[in-house]
Structure 1
Amino acid sequence: MAIKKALISVSDKTGLIPFARRLAAKGIEMISTGGTAALLKDAGIPVTGISEVTGFPEILDGRVKTLHPAIHSGLLAVRDNEAHQQQLAELAIEPIDLVVVNLYPFKETIAKPNVAYAEAIENIDIGGPTMLRSAAKNHQFVTVVVDAQDYEQVAAEIEQQGDTTLQTRRRLAAKVFRHTAAYDALISRYLSDQVGELLPESYTVTYEKVQDLRYGENPHQQAAFYREPLPVAGSIAGAIQLHGKELSYNNINDADAAIGIVREFADPAVVAVKHSNPCGVGIGATVLEAYEKAYEADPVSIFGGIIAANRTIDRETAAKLKEIFLEIIIAPDFTEEAKAILMEKKNLRLLQLATLQQESQQRQFRIAPVRGGMLIQDYDTKQLTPSEWTVVTERQPTPEESAQLAFAWKVVKHVKSNAIVLAKDNMTIGVGAGQMNRVGAAKIAIEQAGEKSKGAVLASDAFFPMPDTVEEAAKAGVTAIIQPGGSIRDQDSIDACNRFGITMVFTGVRHFKH
């Protein structure tokens, strides 16, 4: 069945004129609306205005133009249904065989800073999605194009055989429903946010594909990387890759973890991550000093890891970074000298991410799929200062201990539970992650720290159910502990700290991370 009539109405007019010329060359009649019709006429392409088809003017500032039975009957009529064809003939309605429509730029509108609510609402398309859905439903007979990337294939098939293949029409119909679903999801999210419905009765989200990945966590798993439609400041999705081979699933996951940790710090900081856990974190007066501390924290585990820094990587730091095998280096910027040094390593990925300062207050939700459903929670961006702690022991922390406790508390928040972090001199010296019991995590961190644990501080992501962790810390020479508190046996741990001369503070905030 040859395509005879096309309806064209687009907001994004990229590539439209060459495509329309190819349709016109095949004798296809085109009907159109407003600005699209004017563009086609100016290009010398014959076009019929929508009002000539409907017998009704475009009204309400263009809000109503295609919402008419003469349009939707032409789209929805089943071509091999005699009753449908008879009704079309009786009403003098001609079938529409091809629909080329893209939608008002709602995403681009709400992405503008301080966009007015009225402007956002005005950019909600009604007629466009309705035409797309009508045409896509009737894809057995109607070709529907929502993406300029498909112009070439559609034009080529029409030139070769007068129509598109059923396989193409099915593919394009599926694309349309994905597109309108994503469009509606963005609108519903915007409106829900406006009225404070953060966790409504139904939760619909949409993401845009960034790239297919070679595989997932393991080679037998299929994977792709998607990003949110609107930019999220300081996210891995917004990073610019300057150098190196393609990112993997695990690279992206670990890079996300590294970014989350380094954004905790205002001072120059460097974070080394392996398998989503920090293996070394350091802060210093310069990015070089911070890196040296992160490296010294665990020079074994950093091998093959991911580095995130919240300051520009300079020549001196780059020279140090080049000495070991790293997968990725993330930073707000790299000096030209630093890039020249690091780019000598062909596979080393360099990612530039402008916003790597302290966590913003932009509220976001983390989605964790489970079989048959999903869990949703906002990100753990809770920040505490020493003024919000409660000292529960006889001994008060010294100013230096308070500074190290604050540092360790920022790090332990990002370690998989059960989590223990030992810190000293503005660097981690021992990390116990993902253990089934808290004292086990403490033993791992203490063993890693070795002699450095003397005079160190200890942070725990959750309360101590019994005093055994305090006892292990005391044996190692730890002098200060920070933990949430809240156990029915808190007093046992407090008494143990008092017995060993350890100062302990309660935050009242837990940081489980599963």
Structure 2
Amino acid sequence: MKELELKYGCNPNQKPAKIFMQQGELPVTVLCGRPGYINFLDALNAWQLVKELKETTGLPAAASFKHVSPAGAALGLPLSDTMKKICFVEEMELTPLASAYARARGADRMSSFGDWIALSDECDEATARIIAKEVSDGIIAPGYSEAALAVLKTKKKGAYNIVAIDPAYCPAPIEHKDVFGVTFEQGRNNLAITGEMLRQVVTKNKTLTEEQRRDLLVALITLKYTQSNSVCYAKDGQAIGIGAGQQSRIHCTRLAGSKADIWHLRQHPKVLALQFKEGLGRANRDNAIDVYLSDDYEDVLGDDVWQNTFAVRPEPLTREEKKAYLADVTGVALGSDAFFPFGDNIERAHRSGVTCIVQPGGSIRDDNVIETCDKYGIAMAFCGLRLFHH
């Protein structure tokens, strides 16, 4: 098949819409549903991300995409009991691929609502059963087991978007894009991200553990497919905070840092002890946790709201308690798709437990950025590679 008609373009008024190949056959097959324009933008970007994560690490990978940027990306590493709880998979079977998606979805559950999913490997039944419980628009994977396909086809009354992609597909080295009737052309960004890019450590602390190197690579590969400007915090083989599409680097760092802080605070004993009304859906639980973690929690969560949400009215998590809990966070990796122009980015990263950083380098204030890292004993590598993505 050389072309595929889409439901509509970016918006319902933008018709007709289709995807097509100038040469050869489309590498994708729609097994269920009718994906739209944005669905395929998410699908093709997300597939590249998980494919590269798998190629670089050798581990199954998953991504949760929203509006052409990842809300989460992760490797298929085992989950602790606490992680199982915050990802809502305590009683579920977890294969490595299922663990990867549980982690990817759990990175930023608010942003992942209605996500597009990408899997590096054939979707198995365990992964499909997790997806079945989440609000999602669609999925792309190199294949599906019969059992997984049967589970996924029950979503959205049989209209869930399920796309298979040829894992051997390799696009042309030159890509094109039309904007306002003008065609842009450039070489595809096919430079592989590897551990060699972490060799130039420019700080006094030059030690990068294997776990730190893995997490820095996860951050870089995630950034490669994130709308710029972008910054990614990573820990334990997954992205835990992504700041995408910001005009200012410090705003990227703050946004991603606040998301990483929320990811950590979801593991606070008071959050883990929250008792919800029986039958309350996952999305409502996510909203309630988000409100509970806000500084104006008691003002926002009035009597009628908490009575409809919680089985027992929760004890507030004070600003001081949150600050004390986050002060103990450490071992977080940070990647940036372009150089840090000022040391304020490092100051903000340090507050979220960052102990290692990778960035291209090349700012006229590199010395100030390195000095700020040295102030906190942070190891920082210059990869020399800018990763703008638009």
- The structure 1 residue matched to 2:41, chosen from 241, 253, 258, is 253
Aligned to 2:196: 387
The 8 Å contact of residues 482 and 505 in structure 1, kept in 2 or not, is answered as yes
Aligned to 1:431: 242
Larger RCO of the pair (alpha carbons < 8 Å, separation 6+): 2
Per-residue CA deviations over 1:130-168 (Å, capped at 9, x if unaligned) read xxxxxxxxxxxxxxxxxxxxxxxxxxxxxxxxxxxxxxx
Aligned to 2:76: 284
Aligned to 2:124: 314
Counterparts of 1:214 and 1:241 in 2: how far apart (Å)?
A: 13
Secondary structure of the equivalent of 1:223? Answer: coil
The 8 Å contact of residues 205 and 374 in structure 2, kept in 1 or not, is answered as yes
Counterparts of 1:227 and 1:384 in 2: how far apart (Å)?
A: 29
Match for 1:282: what amino acid? A
Aligned to 1:491: 367
The 8 Å contact of residues 209 and 225 in structure 1, kept in 2 or not, is answered as no
- The structure 2 residue matched to 1:469, chosen from 335, 345, 357, is 345
Counterparts of 1:486 and 1:450 in 2: how far apart (Å)?
A: 29
Task: Give the deviation of 1:339 after TM superposition.
Answer: 1.3
Task: Give the deviation of 1:314 after TM superposition.
Answer: 1.3
Of residues 217-226 and 296-305 in structure 1, the stretch that sits farther from structure 2 once superposed is: 217-226
Aligned to 2:62: 270
Is 1:354 aligned to 2:148, yes or no? no
The 8 Å contact of residues 465 and 489 in structure 1, kept in 2 or not, is answered as yes
Counterparts of 1:264 and 1:479 in 2: how far apart (Å)?
A: 25
Task: Give the deviation of 1:211 after TM superposition.
Answer: 3.5
The 8 Å contact of residues 209 and 224 in structure 1, kept in 2 or not, is answered as no
**Alignment coverage as a number of residue pairs:** 299
Match for 1:270: what amino acid? A
Q: 1:388-427 maps to which residues of 2 (within 5 A)?
A: 388-389=197-198, 390-396=200-206, 397-427=208-238
Per-residue CA deviations over 1:56-112 (Å, capped at 9, x if unaligned) read xxxxxxxxxxxxxxxxxxxxxxxxxxxxxxxxxxxxxxxxxxxxxxxxxxxxxxxxx
Counterparts of 1:462 and 1:227 in 2: how far apart (Å)?
A: 33
Counterparts of 1:449 and 1:347 in 2: how far apart (Å)?
A: 34
Secondary structure of the equivalent of 1:264? Answer: helix
The 8 Å contact of residues 313 and 335 in structure 1, kept in 2 or not, is answered as yes
Structure 1 residues 238 and 301, CA, compared in 2 at 3 Å: closer, same or farther?
A: same
Per-residue CA deviations over 1:363-390 (Å, capped at 9, x if unaligned) read 4222122335322111112123223431
Counterparts of 1:223 and 1:487 in 2: how far apart (Å)?
A: 45
Is 1:369 aligned to 2:178, yes or no? yes
Aligned to 2:251: 440
Is 1:242 aligned to 2:31, yes or no? yes
Structure 1 residues 330 and 395, CA, compared in 2 at 3 Å: closer, same or farther?
A: same
Secondary structure of the equivalent of 1:263? Answer: helix
Secondary structure of the equivalent of 2:128? Answer: helix
Q: Which runs of 5+ in 1 are unaligned?
A: 1-207
Task: Give the deviation of 1:349 after TM superposition.
Answer: 1.2
Secondary structure of the equivalent of 1:272? Answer: strand
Q: 1:15-54 maps to which residues of 2 (within 5 A)?
A: none
Q: 1:87-236 maps to which residues of 2 (within 5 A)?
A: 210-231=3-24
Counterparts of 1:231 and 1:470 in 2: how far apart (Å)?
A: 47
Task: Give the deviation of 1:334 after TM superposition.
Answer: 1.2
Structure 1 residues 371 and 336, CA, compared in 2 at 3 Å: closer, same or farther?
A: closer
Task: Give the deviation of 1:290 after TM superposition.
Answer: 0.7
Match for 2:354: what amino acid? V
Of residues 439-448 and 309-318 in structure 1, the stretch that sits farther from structure 2 once superposed is: 309-318
The 8 Å contact of residues 61 and 75 in structure 2, kept in 1 or not, is answered as yes
RMSD: 1.9
Aligned to 1:323: 133
The 8 Å contact of residues 2 and 24 in structure 2, kept in 1 or not, is answered as no
Counterparts of 1:456 and 1:252 in 2: how far apart (Å)?
A: 32
Counterparts of 1:501 and 1:460 in 2: how far apart (Å)?
A: 19
The 8 Å contact of residues 217 and 250 in structure 1, kept in 2 or not, is answered as yes
Match for 1:480: what amino acid? C
Secondary structure of the equivalent of 2:196? Answer: helix
Q: Which runs of 5+ in 2 are unaligned?
A: 78-95, 265-328
Per-residue CA deviations over 1:239-289 (Å, capped at 9, x if unaligned) read 111122x11111112112211211212220011100000001011152111
Secondary structure of the equivalent of 2:4? Answer: strand
Counterparts of 2:45 and 2:193 in 1: how far apart (Å)?
A: 20
Structure 1 residues 336 and 384, CA, compared in 2 at 3 Å: closer, same or farther?
A: closer
Percent identity of equivalent pairs: 35
The 8 Å contact of residues 318 and 338 in structure 1, kept in 2 or not, is answered as yes
Task: Give the deviation of 1:440 after TM superposition.
Answer: 0.2
Match for 1:240: what amino acid? T
Secondary structure of the equivalent of 2:52? Answer: coil
Q: 1:323-342 maps to which residues of 2 (within 5 A)?
A: 323-342=133-152
Of residues 480-489 and 256-265 in structure 1, the stretch that sits farther from structure 2 once superposed is: 256-265
Match for 2:42: what amino acid? D
- TM-score w.r.t. length of structure 2: 0.73
The 8 Å contact of residues 274 and 305 in structure 1, kept in 2 or not, is answered as yes
Match for 1:380: what amino acid? N
Secondary structure of the equivalent of 1:391? Answer: coil
Structure 1 residues 230 and 214, CA, compared in 2 at 3 Å: closer, same or farther?
A: same
Aligned to 1:29: none
Match for 1:409: what amino acid? L
Aligned to 2:300: none
Structure 1 residues 490 and 305, CA, compared in 2 at 3 Å: closer, same or farther?
A: same
Counterparts of 1:499 and 1:231 in 2: how far apart (Å)?
A: 55
Counterparts of 1:391 and 1:336 in 2: how far apart (Å)?
A: 48
